[in-house]
């Protein structure tokens, strides 16, 4: 179906939706702005103006300006079910509440202060009138197109005979299959490719001939539910001499040559983390790449302490489809081998833009390869070519198609979720597309996956498109991903010419970190995939593909540091073992980097080269380490501030790093930042430093807070000794509509010489028995539990000058010891957790602090079931509300499907609201009930009443149903006559959403029934409005009514049907003179939602006099059913594409028995 050929001028004119501003009064004329993407260097300043929408297409105040979209590519209409709600500065919470009260939902966020919202038109109208809302409008089609599509540059790059590849994204929660159906229904010659849908983010890849590109853009941008259309860019593939630089910031040998190579091999003394026993054991590293030659010795042996286990791991057959996991082998080097959809097992040297050269094998070797003699816990028996974490295990996810050599990444979010579910804590991605700094589909999926999982770190190659600016690729452009650029070989610090540079197109700093990426010697694969272990061979490759796994291997050592309990005492302490959050790994890596350029930090080198030893503390060292990690569930809300006192001594630089995993952004947004935290440090002399304000390589006073990045950093080379104050400020945390996304967790890492005397391990060091100088609290008790939060009192510890509170889900008996995370602190032994969810069970532990250094986590633990408030929304089918109004005693019986609470242990109840008008201008609460039913006896025969039900839980969360109307009557019959329903004096029709009563048009009186909740009926909808049971008169009974309709001709329609068996079966009724059309254009199988075949006649197209507001009179002969009990319904069926004003129904008259009169109750 091509929506371009179906709309007549009158239809088009009626369907075009103007951006109806609400809130502040708008000027009579909007100033038109040209299509112009904001330059990266301007976006930081644009963020300061809360009145602006800042999108890829341009920055503008929607009350005063609009963007001129090209009419040939962007449909001149807006969605009926989706809208934009711009909230006033600082009013995100109030706006979220207004959206929830209206029965709508948030599906995304747009900068600076707007939500993408899904709901019916009535809900959107109510939202627009909320005090917190500045402006709202239906979602414009032009906002759905990437800049390169709007300006025609994508089409210009394709030869007339080529095909243009696109990725089309739906709004969160839309059906991927519906997207595919609607695109097929356009009638445009499309190639339909892979689909994605993890984390409720639907998308499909298509290709189209360049001559049809504009037609597709015009059609697809008009489709309800489509959120974004962008060019699809195929992914392309993007060690000894690296050991010393990344571990100790020195060459791997005493005398490297001029190219940074160590001809005589690695000097083990320079592998400082390996010497301490950090080899990667216990860590599972996921690698998604072209394939793995798994029978090479690099990947066949694993020594967990009991001697080597030599085993080859074959790819699962059949492969587990993400999100499912497959077979795992805890005692093997290759822990799992899972082929991704569209790929084939093992590595190859096929040509896809370039020869692969067994890319995945080399990458895996760089990260974790280990040839005999194998690393064992605590020691590395180094073989030239071993990886950075030779003791780590590999979960391999094969992306390579051996037939073509190209990569197949169907759903990157699902791939990440599969790896995390399989046990991986780090994910390496040495591939990407050349997105030119834009935030695209892979980035969205990565951000959603990392925000959801929190404990996974994704390391991605920045790309090989340098040396120009804004050349970083995706998924490295994701906010939450650690993007890696390349330096030259070994200890050489120059940036590789090929390494992609930042900033991103929305001004963010990328790459994040650097590592050696030239002439990296690692595992070499071949085509022998047999069952025998092959001798290890090496080859040298260059690229950010090689730099990324160098960082991944280093991150595995870092993760082992926390996992083996080296923090906080600088030595392995089993009871301090923890599972580090991905934010902590990212922050710790950045906190320790080596500045490798005079212009640091920069968009060329990010935060510098990885330097692991500087990221960690080891017993006896002078440079200390502190960190605090909040999970998102315990995160900050807008306006919250966490304050951390830190005592800093002279002699080492002070570095502070704040990172957070931000919810995924809307693809139209620019910048991509949703939740904005700020880092502030106040020195003992009162000087204040803001995160990311630098001059000459160190933090400077003054400047403005960063409004773009999810990494904020401070570096003071010669800090003033004394008490520093660090603050993490939640500047704006609106969330993107995902549950709890209005709370933002983070990791804060501090590296400095700590304490009054500069001794990280307390001023008096360890005691004579080698125990920490400050003990753990011996006992804990709950002293408060309510709306203030959970208050825990610890037994005071001698010498402690502060305490930190940690929380894990579950009970002390069941909570994972490694999952206790920071939730609060206090100078006293009484601490408060203000971020509990009412009804949830938690376990709490406490750590004492002395002279800026932490003592052990308490053995003492206390269980609490929170009595705090819970803000999780209810599940409620508001469309299930129904009414029965025929009773001897005047009564309206209401019923609905039960709601369920998401807050633990919270009961649900219902408020029944009633009004005398369908506009529901002054509803009154007539009852509060515990069950999903209510009988209203305060009604009068023949007087219409209108109802809505509000479900609420004990925590105060609410959601509402749609509005229905009904007219009380009696039972039995007063004899034959004309049964009427005019939506004014009588309202008895039973309405399925989106049918409703409207005052937009009427044949008589003020109201009529309509198949649309707003400007247009919804797409892909099958819904009916039906009479109550009627007994037809004898003889030749007739059905008569007035109608006015505008429906997509021959695709959408309304069919009138009759049931003579109580609704079990239905028969179409043909009106006098016949229907004006049919579903002739529907496909086989039909694409209309009710499934009517092409032969089914229907009301379709536009009724006579529609533009003038006229109704037509229609009748049906019901003689065949004379004297029988019947139901009559008007049934709307729409397809997924274009919609129009819908079907208006009024003045219904049926020759039938008239209902009796009900009697007033006592």
Instruction: Kindly report the backbone phi and psi dihedral angles of residue 574, in degrees, each rounded to the nearest multiple of 5, phi listed first.
Output: -50, -40
Structure tokens at 422: 């399989």
Instruction: Kindly report the backbone phi and psi dihedral angles of residue 404, in degrees, each rounded to the nearest multiple of 5, phi listed first.
Output: -110, -20
314: annotated active-site residue: no
**Residue 170 to residue 157: CA distance in whole angstroms:** 26
- Exactly one of 465, 545, 836, 866 is catalytic; name it: 545
Q: What is the 3-state secondary structure (H, E, C) of 191-225?
A: EEEEEECHHHCCEEEEEECHHHHHHHHHHHHCCCC
Sign of CA dihedral 849, 853, 859, 862: positive
Instruction: Kindly report the backbone phi and psi dihedral angles of residue 235, in degrees, each rounded to the nearest multiple of 5, phi listed first.
Output: -75, 140
Q: Which helix (H) or strand (E) holds 453?
A: helix 441-453
Kindly state the DSSP code that residue 544 receives in the 8-state scheme.
H
**Residue 302 to residue 536: CA distance in whole angstroms:** 15
Sign of CA dihedral 721, 722, 728, 731: negative
Structure tokens at 775: 């003990």
**Residue 1008 to residue 169: CA distance in whole angstroms:** 36
Instruction: Kindly report the backbone phi and psi dihedral angles of residue 541, in degrees, each rounded to the nearest multiple of 5, phi listed first.
Output: -130, 160
545: annotated active-site residue: yes
Residue 598, classified by CB atoms within 10 Å of its CB into exposed (0-12), middle (13-18) or buried (19+), is: exposed
**Residue 592 to residue 612: CA distance in whole angstroms:** 7
- Exactly one of 79, 289, 411, 953 is catalytic; name it: 289
Q: Which residue, 865, 854, 749, 839, is CA-closest to 800?
A: 854
- Exactly one of 169, 238, 359, 603 is catalytic; name it: 359
**Residue 77 to residue 833: CA distance in whole angstroms:** 48
**Residue 236 to residue 238: CA distance in whole angstroms:** 6
Q: Which residue has the tokens 């599509």?
A: 149
**Residue 626 to residue 1072: CA distance in whole angstroms:** 82
Structure tokens at 593: 């980097």
Structure tokens at 113: 């202060």
Q: Name the 3-class secondary structure at 996.
A: strand
Q: Half-sphere exposure of residue 970, counting CA atoms within 13 Å on the CB side?
A: 15
The total number of residues written for the chain in this structure: 1162
**Residue 949 to residue 856: CA distance in whole angstroms:** 53
Cβ atoms of residues 626 and 754 within 8 Å: yes
Q: Which residue has the tokens 């105060």?
A: 956
**Residue 157 to residue 151: CA distance in whole angstroms:** 12
- Strands 78-87 and 114-118, by their bridges, are antiparallel
**Residue 598 to residue 499: CA distance in whole angstroms:** 18
Helices 544-563 & 240-248 angle (0-180, nearest 10): 50
Angle at 179 between CA 173 and CA 182, to 5 degrees: 140
Cβ atoms of residues 416 and 455 within 8 Å: no
289: annotated active-site residue: yes
* Contacting residues for 531 by C-beta, under 8 A, at least 6 apart: 295, 312
Q: Which helix (H) or strand (E) holds 858?
A: none
Residue 925, classified by CB atoms within 10 Å of its CB into exposed (0-12), middle (13-18) or buried (19+), is: exposed
Q: Which residue has the tokens 């001794």?
A: 759
**Residue 831 to residue 890: CA distance in whole angstroms:** 59
Structure tokens at 62: 């929607």
Q: Half-sphere exposure of residue 864, counting CA atoms within 13 Å on the CB side?
A: 29
Q: Which residues are catalytic?
A: 289, 359, 545
């Amino acid at each position: 179906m091509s929506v371009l050929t179906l709309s007549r001028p009158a239809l088009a004119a009626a369907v075009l939706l103007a951006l109806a501003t609400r809130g502040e009064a708008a000027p009579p004329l909007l100033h038109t702005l040209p299509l112009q993407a904001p330059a990266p260097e301007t976006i930081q300043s644009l963020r300061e103006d809360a009145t602006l929408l800042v999108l890829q297409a341009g920055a503008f105040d929607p009350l005063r300006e609009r963007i001129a979209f090209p009419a040939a590519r962007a449909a001149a209409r807006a969605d009926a079910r989706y809208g934009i709600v711009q909230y006033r500065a600082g009013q995100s919470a109030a706006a979220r509440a207004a959206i929830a009260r209206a029965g709508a939902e948030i599906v995304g966020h747009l900068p600076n202060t707007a939500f993408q919202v899904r709901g019916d038109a009535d809900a959107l109208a109510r939202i627009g009138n909320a005090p917190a809302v500045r402006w709202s409008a239906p979602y414009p089609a032009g906002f759905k197109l990437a800049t390169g599509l709007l300006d025609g540059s994508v089409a210009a790059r394709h030869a007339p005979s080529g095909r243009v590849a696109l990725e089309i994204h739906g709004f969160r929660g839309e059906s991927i299959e519906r997207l595919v159906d609607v695109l097929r229904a356009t009638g445009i010659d499309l190639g339909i490719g892979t689909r994605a849908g993890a984390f409720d983010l639907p998308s499909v890849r298509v290709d189209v001939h360049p001559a049809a590109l504009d037609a597709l853009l015009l059609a697809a941008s008009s489709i309800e539910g489509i959120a974004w259309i962008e060019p699809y860019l195929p992914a392309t593939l993007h060690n000894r001499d690296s050991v010393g630089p990344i571990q100790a910031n020195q060459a791997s040998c005493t005398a490297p040559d001029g190219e940074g190579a160590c001809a005589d091999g690695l000097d083990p003394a320079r592998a400082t983390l390996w010497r301490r026993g950090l080899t990667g054991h216990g860590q599972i590293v996921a690698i998604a790449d072209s394939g793995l030659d798994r029978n090479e010795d690099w990947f066949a042996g694993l020594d967990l302490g009991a001697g080597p286990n030599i085993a080859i791991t074959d790819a699962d057959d059949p492969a587990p489809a993400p999100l499912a996991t497959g077979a795992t082998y805890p005692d093997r080097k290759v822990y799992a081998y899972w082929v991704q959809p569209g790929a084939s097992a093992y590595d190859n040297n096929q040509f896809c833009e370039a020869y692969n050269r067994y890319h995945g094998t080399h990458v895996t070797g760089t990260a974790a390869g280990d040839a005999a003699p194998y690393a064992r816990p605590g020691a590395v028996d180094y073989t030239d070519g071993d990886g950075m974490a030779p003791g780590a295990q590999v979960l391999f996810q094969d992306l390579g198609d051996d037939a073509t050599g190209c990569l197949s990444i169907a759903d990157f979010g699902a791939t990440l979720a599969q790896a995390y579910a399989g046990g991986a804590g780090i994910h390496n991605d040495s591939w990407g597309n050349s997105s030119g700094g834009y935030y695209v589909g892979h980035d969205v999926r990565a951000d959603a996956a990392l925000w959801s999982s929190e404990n996974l770190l994704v390391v991605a190659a920045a790309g090989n498109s340098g040396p120009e600016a804004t050349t970083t690729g995706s998924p490295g452009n994701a906010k939450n991903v650690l993007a890696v650029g390349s330096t030259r070989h070994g200890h050489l610090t120059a940036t590789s010419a090929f390494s992609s540079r930042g900033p991103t197109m929305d001004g963010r700093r990328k790459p994040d970190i650097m590592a050696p990426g030239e002439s990296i010697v690692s595992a070499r694969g071949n085509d022998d995939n047999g069952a025998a272990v092959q001798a290890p061979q090496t080859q040298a490759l260059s690229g950010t593909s090689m730099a990324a796994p160098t960082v991944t291997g280093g991150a595995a050592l870092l993760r082992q540091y926390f996992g083996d309990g080296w923090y906080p005492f600088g030595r392995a302490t089993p009871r301090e073992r923890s599972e580090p959050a991905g934010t902590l790994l990212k922050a710790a890596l950045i906190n320790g980097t080596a500045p490798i350029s005079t212009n640091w930090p920069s968009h060329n080198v990010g935060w510098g080269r990885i330097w692991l030893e500087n990221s960690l503390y080891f017993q006896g060292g002078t440079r200390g380490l502190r960190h605090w990690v909040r999970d998102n569930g315990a995160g900050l809300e807008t306006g919250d501030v966490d304050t951390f006192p830190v005592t800093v001594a002279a002699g080492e630089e002070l570095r502070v790093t704040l990172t957070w995993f931000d919810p995924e952004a809307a693809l139209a947004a620019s910048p991509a930042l949703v939740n904005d935290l700020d880092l502030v440090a106040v020195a003992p002399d009162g000087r204040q430093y803001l995160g990311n304000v630098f001059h000459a390589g160190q933090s400077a006073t003054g400047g403005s807070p960063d409004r773009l990045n999810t990494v904020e950093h401070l570096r003071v080379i010669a800090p003033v000794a004394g008490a520093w104050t660090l603050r993490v400020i939640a500047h704006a945390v609106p969330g993107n509509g995902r549950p709890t996304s209005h709370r933002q967790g983070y990791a804060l890492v501090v590296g400095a010489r700590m304490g009054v005397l500069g001794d990280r391990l307390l001023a008096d060091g360890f005691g004579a028995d080698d125990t920490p100088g400050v003990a753990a609290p011996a006992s804990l008790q709950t002293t408060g539990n309510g709306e203030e939060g959970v208050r825990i009192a610890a037994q005071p510890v001698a010498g402690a000058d502060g305490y930190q509170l940690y929380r894990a889900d579950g009970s002390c008996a069941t909570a994972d010891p490694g999952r206790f995370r920071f939730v609060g602190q206090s100078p006293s032994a009484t601490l408060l957790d203000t971020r509990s969810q009412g009804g949830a069970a938690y376990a709490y532990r406490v750590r004492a602090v002395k002279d800026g250094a932490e003592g052990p986590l308490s053995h003492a633990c206390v269980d609490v079931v929170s009595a705090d408030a819970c803000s999780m929304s209810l599940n409620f089918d508001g469309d299930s509300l129904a009414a029965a109004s025929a009773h001897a005693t005047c009564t309206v019986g209401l019923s609905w499907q039960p709601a369920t609470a998401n807050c633990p242990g919270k009961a649900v109840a219902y408020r029944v609201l009633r009004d005398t008008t369908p506009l529901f201008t002054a509803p009154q609460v007539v009852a509060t009930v515990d069950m999903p039913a209510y009988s209203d006896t305060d009604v009068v025969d023949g007087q219409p009443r209108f109802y809505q039900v509000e479900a609420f839980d004990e925590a105060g969360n609410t959601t509402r149903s749609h509005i229905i109307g009904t007219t009380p009557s009696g039972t039995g019959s007063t004899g034959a006559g004309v049964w009427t329903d005019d939506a004014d004096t009588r309202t008895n029709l039973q309405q399925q959403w989106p049918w409703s009563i409207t005052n937009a048009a009427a044949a008589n009186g003020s109201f009529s029934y309509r198949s649309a909740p707003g400007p247009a009926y919804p797409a892909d909808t099958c819904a009916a409005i039906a009479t109550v049971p009627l007994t037809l008169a004898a003889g030749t009974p007739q059905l008569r009514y007035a109608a006015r309709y505008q429906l997509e001709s021959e695709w959408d329609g309304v069919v009138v049907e009759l049931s003579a068996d109580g609704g079990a079966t239905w028969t179409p009724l043909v009106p006098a003179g016949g229907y004006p059309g049919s579903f002739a254009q529907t496909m086989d199988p039909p694409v209309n939602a009710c499934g009517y075949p092409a032969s089914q006649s229907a009301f379709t197209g536009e009724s006579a006099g529609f533009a003038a507001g006229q109704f037509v009179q229609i009748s049906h002969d019901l003689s065949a059913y004379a004297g029988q009990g019947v139901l009559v319904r008007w049934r709307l069926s729409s397809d997924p594409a274009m919609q129009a004003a819908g079907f208006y129904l009024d003045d219904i008259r049926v020759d039938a028995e008239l209902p009796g009169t009900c009697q007033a109750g006592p």
